[in-house]
Amino acid sequence: MFAKEGLEGVVAARTTLSLIDGEKGRLSYRGYSIHDLAARSSFEEVVHLLWYGELPTAAQLAQTRADLASQRALHPDALEILRRFARDASPMDMLRTVVSALAIHDPDVHESTREANLRKGTRLTAQMPTIVAAHERLRKGKEPVAPDPRLDHAANFLFMLHGTAPEPIAARALDVAMILQLDHGLNASTFAARVTAGTLADLHAAVTSAIGSLKGPLHGGANYDVMVMLKAIDEVGRAAEHIRLELQQKKKIPGFGHRVYKTIDPRAVHLRELSEKLGVSMGQDKWYRMSAVIEKTCKELKNLYPNVDFYAASTYFLLGFDMDLFTPIFACSRAPGWIAHVIEQHTDNRLIRPLEEYIGPPERAYVSLDKRG
Ligand code: COA
């Protein structure tokens, strides 16, 4: 039987990682509400929760932090690739390429036990922000900034990117945004990771697949498109009319709609708050106010709700990220989720191999070259 287009409604894996209730707008990681985690937790704590199944004790958290902080530096060959292609490659292509290249020197590359995947996962999670930050600096003619092991994951990323210690409000905003993007059921990139892992290919192969699929504008690429839209509108007073015209022409509004959520995406609630808080504290709440008008207009005209990407765009913009860094930063946030899914897939694997319905010509006789045309 043919599944609905886009595999809508198909259950294709069992997981203990995250639960989405699309009707009620709820999301939890291993049973903990995303609202509690966003308010009270840290990125490292939630990574531990996803990888080990429970919230860490203080000693376990210190260990997870130390493990991640100690693995941030890149192999010199990875830095060489970054230097070689810095000015030509987009940040997302660069991230995908260097993550793939990191497999070359990884001592565990051919091992897919849980322990080996955790070691590789720690290195990938630690190094992906270093790749993004180093590339960003190199393409602007600056030298990369070495990671600071005293800083937490999110704060260190801002430090490597901007070269100065971040304001606490900025570090916390990124920390929360990264928690919100850590895992999200069988979204397209996680599915890609699981399909690759399902062939018993290694973790680097699976994460490389996932980054490739996150790039598209229907998935992680939407946060970039949101900022393009906000900049094109430019004035709060023009937002409602812009949306009305776009919807009239049957265009998709980036950052709105979702396959699973039929109400507001619970992650958008927190990102909306972050966007407002940062905007007000920096005297730049125009993007938040414009976004709020767009949200109201989309709801009124087409009963559309914002998804995770909508308020992530203005939040990231206020954190000083160039627009084409938005999706790579999403990838850095989602990577531990992909890794947890790969571990889950490898633990109880069966090749993922669906069928297709053939709708081409019926079987026919081969025509030799001299009789064609
Ligand atoms: N703007 C305008 N209309 C939208 C919309 C949007 N962003 N998202 C969905 N819709 C409308 C569709 O036009 C369609 O309406 P119709 O029934 O009148 O034709 C209906 O809602 C269903 O949309 P559809 O594209 O079939 O849903 P989907 O489940 O296949 O797609 C998305 C989900 C996320 C790909 C889709 O909502 C989208 O393209 N959003 C914009 C990109 C985005 O923000 N992606 C990030 C997702 S986290």
Give the per-residue pLDDT at 344: 97
Strand 18-21 relative to strand 32-33, pairing: unpaired
Let me know whether 114 and 226 are in one domain. no
Average pLDDT for 338-347: 97
Split at pLDDT 50, 70, 90, the class of 373 is: confident
Q: Which atom of ligand 1 is nearest to the CA of 251?
A: 2
What backbone phi and psi angles, to 5 degrees, belong to 28?
-135, 150
Domain membership flag for residue 56: yes
Domain membership flag for residue 49: yes
Report how far ligand 1's centroid is from the alpha carbon of 244 (Å).
16
Q: Are 346 and 202 in contact (CB under 8 A)?
A: no
Alpha helices in the chain (DSSP H): 34-40, 43-52, 58-70, 76-85, 91-105, 114-139, 153-162, 168-180, 188-198, 203-214, 222-233, 239-248, 266-281, 286-302, 308-318, 326-347
Burial of 283 (0-12, 13-18, 19+ CB in 10 A): exposed
The CB-side HSE value for 104 (13 A sphere, CA atoms) comes to 12
Q: Is 225 in the pocket of ligand 1 (CB under 6 A)?
A: no
- In the predicted model, is pLDDT for residue 321 greater than 90? yes
Give the per-residue pLDDT at 316: 96
Let me know whether 103 and 138 are in one domain. yes
Q: Are 174 and 319 in contact (CB under 8 A)?
A: yes
Element containing residue 219 per DSSP (H, E): none
DSSP state of 143: P
Percent of the chain with pLDDT over 70: 100
Give the per-residue pLDDT at 235: 96
Q: Is 185 in the pocket of ligand 1 (CB under 6 A)?
A: no
Domain membership flag for residue 7: no
Q: Are 92 and 103 in contact (CB under 8 A)?
A: no
Q: Which atom of ligand 1 is nearest to the CA of 310?
A: 44
Q: Is 255 in the pocket of ligand 1 (CB under 6 A)?
A: yes
Element containing residue 168 per DSSP (H, E): helix 168-180
Give the per-residue pLDDT at 3: 86
C-alpha 273/C-alpha 317 separation (Å) is 15
Q: Is 254 in the pocket of ligand 1 (CB under 6 A)?
A: yes
Q: Are 181 and 43 in contact (CB under 8 A)?
A: no
Give the per-residue pLDDT at 314: 96
* SS3 state at 186: strand
Residue nearest to atom 47 of ligand 1 (CA): 219
Report how far ligand 1's centroid is from the alpha carbon of 307 (Å).
10
User: For residue range 210-238, what is the model confidence (pLDDT) as tens digits?
Assistant: 999 999 999 999 999 999 999 999 999 99
Q: Is 304 in the pocket of ligand 1 (CB under 6 A)?
A: yes
Let me know whether 64 and 208 are in one domain. yes
Q: Which two tokens stand for residue 77?
A: 């060959």
Q: What range defines the domain where residue 297 resides?
A: 222-318
Let me know whether 207 and 235 are in one domain. no
Report how far ligand 1's centroid is from the alpha carbon of 308 (Å).
14
Let me know whether 229 and 284 are in one domain. yes
Domain membership flag for residue 2: no
Q: Is 310 in the pocket of ligand 1 (CB under 6 A)?
A: no
Let me know whether 252 and 279 are in one domain. yes
Give the per-residue pLDDT at 348: 92
Give the per-residue pLDDT at 2: 83
Q: Which two tokens stand for residue 12?
A: 């294709």
Average pLDDT for 249-266: 95
Split at pLDDT 50, 70, 90, the class of 68 is: very high
Let me know whether 190 and 239 are in one domain. no
Let me know whether 210 and 68 are in one domain. yes
Q: Is 334 in the pocket of ligand 1 (CB under 6 A)?
A: no
Give the per-residue pLDDT at 209: 98
Q: Which two tokens stand for residue 28?
A: 């939890």
User: For residue range 2-61, what is the model confidence (pLDDT) as tens digits?
Assistant: 889 999 999 999 999 999 999 999 999 999 999 999 999 999 999 999 999 999 999 999
- In the predicted model, is pLDDT for residue 1 greater than 80? no
Q: Which atom of ligand 1 is nearest to the CA of 226?
A: 44
What backbone phi and psi angles, to 5 degrees, belong to 306?
-70, 150
Domain membership flag for residue 361: no
Average pLDDT for 148-152: 97
Domain count within the chain: 2
Query: Between the CA of residue 92 and those of 106, 133, 335, 339, 351, what are the distances in Å?
Result: 21, 12, 14, 18, 28
- The full DSSP string for 222-244 is HHHHHHHHHHHH-SGGGHHHHHH
Q: Centre a 10 Å sphere on the Cβ of residue 314 and count the other Cβ atoms it contains.
A: 30
Domain membership flag for residue 205: yes
Domain membership flag for residue 267: yes
Give the CATH number, domain containing residue 135.
1.10.580.10
Let me know whether 150 and 44 are in one domain. yes
- The full DSSP string for 49-98 is HHHHSSPPPHHHHHHHHHHHHHT-SPPHHHHHHHHHHTTTS-HHHHHHHH
Let me know whether 138 and 78 are in one domain. yes
Let me know whether 196 and 67 are in one domain. yes
User: For residue range 106-141, what is the model confidence (pLDDT) as tens digits?
Assistant: 999 999 999 999 999 999 999 999 999 999 999 999
Testing ligand 1's pocket by substitution, the residue of 181, 223, 229, 258 carrying the most ligand atoms inside 8 A of its CB is: 258
Give the per-residue pLDDT at 336: 98
- In the predicted model, is pLDDT for residue 277 greater than 80? yes
Give the per-residue pLDDT at 289: 97
Residue with tokens 């694997």, as numbered in its chain: 349
Average pLDDT for 70-86: 98
Let me know whether 200 and 261 are in one domain. no
C-alpha 77/C-alpha 172 separation (Å) is 32
Give the CATH number, domain containing residue 255.
1.10.230.10
* SS3 state at 140: coil
Testing ligand 1's pocket by substitution, the residue of 218, 230, 245 carrying the most ligand atoms inside 8 A of its CB is: 218
Residue nearest to atom 23 of ligand 1 (CA): 257
User: CA 216, 199, 120 angle in degrees (round to 5)?
Assistant: 75
Give the per-residue pLDDT at 123: 98
Split at pLDDT 50, 70, 90, the class of 208 is: very high
Domain membership flag for residue 20: no
Q: Is 165 in the pocket of ligand 1 (CB under 6 A)?
A: no
